Structure 1
Amino acid sequence: MSDRDLTSSASASQERPATRAERGVFVPFTAPMLWGARIRRIPGTPPELLLPSLSGRGTYVLDWRSAVAACSPTLHDRQLWARLSLLQHPTPAGVRGVVRKVALMGHAGRPAQAAAEAALEEQRASAARVKAALQARLATPPDAAHAALLGGLAEALADTGVAPGAPGPHIRQVAALEAFCADLSTWTRRIPPPSGQNAALVVLAAARYSLAAIRACQAALWPPLEDLAGLLARGPAGLRLMAELAERPDWLLDGWPPIVALWTSAAIQERSALAAEVAAIFPVPAQEADRWPGGALDWDTVLRGRRLLAALPVLAGTRLVEVAARNEGLRAMTA
């Protein structure tokens, strides 16, 4: 495979790109060899595919032509990339929107199509709830300019809500990640070593760090909304502030929902192998996240632990077919 290796065994920090743009966004491809891949687009350059090494010790950087030759993307994957490659600044929300459009076209099967329809309806309903909740906080009806800003705020906060515990997709996903941590912790205590235990412990540390950072970033959303009138008085700058604050937990969640769904749906006897698989591809935040609420976490130790694990076996034969079917099923579980 023609590639550039982004990392080196000398320093775990090199496995953490400096910015979100350099890190890229998880893409739910169905081809087994593309599992865990991310799209990134540095301004002024074509989009690139970042593919985790099976050893957990590096990342391949591919253009799409190389990915087609090496990874056998499915029809769904080709349709998805054709649309994702048009994004100038990929974000989790932007990728999610494209993923749902492709699912609505039926390329990922009927269950994924139905799940995408339900997810879009949930997002619309959530945005309407958020807008109503924001309007209720104002002493007087907003003028036209402030009403437009409220609409933008509602879109930005549709996934997170406007208060702790408010209904929304992120609240559900964070709860699922928390349950995943609890279940994984229990499982590691029950199985005899090694039996995937070492890999599971590395994944557990990563999931707990991510969960703590997500909660801290979510908590930082609420204080600016307490003075909604003052926020609206700032005009577009206030909207940009809230959009940035809302993006942060989205970036930290990126890549975890499919892992959680996989673990939840896996049979007990499959979990040792799954823990090893997840250890090679779990998401790691960019270094800029160290400056977000929650502070810097010890990702270097987690990544050193990942590099000590055995490399995954190369997929072949019927296992390729099984993983492709599994990945297509994930599209319905994580719309």
Structure 2
Amino acid sequence: MLKGAIEYAPSTFEERGAAVAFTTPLLSQTRVRRGERSKLEVLIPSLSQGMGIYVVAWKAVPDMVSMTMHDRYLHDLIVKEDACSPHEIRRATLKAARRGLAGPQAAQAARRALEEDEEQSTLTHYLLILAILKAVGLESPEMLKAGIDTDEGQRLTRQLMTRAAESLKMDATLLYSRLADIAAVTAPVGLARSPRPGRLTRGLNDLKAFRDSMTGWANDVPSDAAPVAQFCAEVAQHTIAIGDKVLGDFHRRVEAIGPLMRDWDSEIVRVRAQAGRMAWLLDGWSHITGAWEVAQAEDHHQQAATVNDLFRILPLLPRKESSRDFVEDAKQVKLAHRRSVRMLEDWRTGQMDIDAIRRIEAVKARVP
């Protein structure tokens, strides 16, 4: 089924779907979601020079498009795991990249990303233990000096956490369980006072840099793509404004760890919701910010082509998430986009484009 890209505007993040990091140019950053009867389907924008979105059954994609080996493996993995949230799609993407099917640099980047995830999880868990102890007045210089990764440090930690559980009037096992739940939810975002920002916080910072760079390019480079670049910057800014508010609320709730533990049933739902909302807000942007960073080494002609490509996959906010109708604004940009595309004589044809695949793999070589 074909829907016009400008007329089509999802109401929710789930309807918009999660972006998939395929290396086949035609499929790059297409979105997967649950359709009728909960079956996976993919949204493929602009199969021709028209502005359209095809809604295709997920299992039918390999029959429609000539896919790289990496993409066939990733496609099968998503079907097998029935994945369609940003977290699930990222996990499948890292599994595929780690096998080396998108090149050795992408494999190395995937391994680094998984290692950083593990390190971030450990750091978050440790900082949350310190926060709980501080909240009940049990800060311990001896534990900090010993280090939590030593036998003595772990003994002191268990002793202090048992006392903290008593202070909070709960079983120590329950306290540890809730701590693990909070750490799992918090690690991708990161704690406000953490020496290392979480992956999603870094993504929000990257988006701010992208907004500034795209605005500068639109002002400095005379091109038919300049209005398109300005529109990309405006969508980024609107996403940033919402993201800053969500992040602030998330950090306030997690920092109030005593009330979070006491009002667990209601507060953990809110914390999970804000973490999930951050993931959906930033879904698809890491490829865009990475692609624009890679394009900085290119000439203005290739940068203009990149701007047009990014417009095609721009993560417009769903209606329920935004007070501004970017779909209406996109109508004003569409003519400039088409003029620029015709000038560049560069558009997706569905055939294998080796240079385009290499550019996509260069983006994947960055740590996700």
Residues 209-220 of structure 1 mapped to structure 2, 5 A cutoff: 209-220=238-249
* 1:24 corresponding residue in structure 2: 17
Matched position secondary structure for 1:107: coil
1:108 paired to 2:108? no
C-alpha distance in 1 between matches for 2:198 and 2:274 = 16
User: Which residue, 121, 125, 148 being the options, matches 2:119?
Assistant: 125
Please tell me whether the aligned partners of residues 40 and 47 of structure 1 are also in contact (alpha carbons under 8 angstroms): yes
Please tell me whether the aligned partners of residues 56 and 307 of structure 1 are also in contact (alpha carbons under 8 angstroms): no
* 1:93 corresponding residue in structure 2: 87
* 2:255 corresponding residue in structure 1: 226
* 2:326 corresponding residue in structure 1: 299
* 1:293 corresponding residue in structure 2: none
Letter in 2 for 1:180: F
C-alpha distance in 1 between matches for 2:213 and 2:320 = 30
C-alpha distance in 2 between matches for 1:226 and 1:199 = 40
C-alpha distance in 1 between matches for 2:233 and 2:26 = 24
C-alpha distance in 1 between matches for 2:352 and 2:94 = 27
Residues 158-307 of structure 1 mapped to structure 2, 5 A cutoff: 158-163=187-192, 167-194=197-224, 196-266=225-295, 267-269=298-300, 270-290=302-322, 296-307=323-334
Going from structure 1 to structure 2, the CA distance change for 1:144 and 1:306 (only over 3 Å counts) comes to farther
C-alpha distance in 1 between matches for 2:303 and 2:130 = 47
- 1:36-70 deviations in whole A, cap 9, x for unaligned? 30111247332111111255733111124542233
Please tell me whether the aligned partners of residues 21 and 89 of structure 1 are also in contact (alpha carbons under 8 angstroms): no
C-alpha distance in 2 between matches for 1:57 and 1:96 = 27
Matched position secondary structure for 2:67: coil
Please tell me whether the aligned partners of residues 191 and 198 of structure 2 are also in contact (alpha carbons under 8 angstroms): no
Tell me how far 1:137 sits from its aligned partner: 1.8
Greater shift in the superposed pair: 146-155 or 86-95: 86-95
C-alpha distance in 1 between matches for 2:5 and 2:200 = 34
Matched position secondary structure for 1:208: helix
Matched position secondary structure for 1:60: strand
* 2:361 corresponding residue in structure 1: 328
1:84 paired to 2:75? no
Matched position secondary structure for 1:209: helix
C-alpha distance in 2 between matches for 1:205 and 1:172 = 20
Structure ranking higher in helix proportion? 2
1:47 paired to 2:30? no
Greater shift in the superposed pair: 73-82 or 305-314: 305-314
Letter in 2 for 1:5: L
Please tell me whether the aligned partners of residues 24 and 352 of structure 2 are also in contact (alpha carbons under 8 angstroms): no
- Structure 2-normalised TM-score? 0.80
C-alpha distance in 2 between matches for 1:172 and 1:276 = 25
Going from structure 1 to structure 2, the CA distance change for 1:56 and 1:229 (only over 3 Å counts) comes to farther
Letter in 2 for 1:30: T
Please tell me whether the aligned partners of residues 21 and 42 of structure 1 are also in contact (alpha carbons under 8 angstroms): no
Tell me how far 1:310 sits from its aligned partner: 4.0
C-alpha distance in 2 between matches for 1:188 and 1:6 = 29
- 1:59-103 deviations in whole A, cap 9, x for unaligned? 111124542233211111111111112344621111111111111
Tell me how far 1:317 sits from its aligned partner: 10
C-alpha distance in 2 between matches for 1:154 and 1:180 = 29
Tell me how far 1:115 sits from its aligned partner: 0.8
C-alpha distance in 2 between matches for 1:328 and 1:205 = 27
- Identity percentage over the alignment? 25
- Structure 1-normalised TM-score? 0.88
* 2:179 corresponding residue in structure 1: 150
Tell me how far 1:257 sits from its aligned partner: 1.0
Letter in 2 for 1:244: A
5+ residue gaps, structure 1: 291-295
Please tell me whether the aligned partners of residues 149 and 236 of structure 1 are also in contact (alpha carbons under 8 angstroms): no
Q: Aligned pair count?
A: 322
Report the structure number with the largest CA radius of gyration. Answer: 2
Letter in 1 for 2:32: I
C-alpha distance in 2 between matches for 1:38 and 1:321 = 22
C-alpha distance in 2 between matches for 1:158 and 1:56 = 41
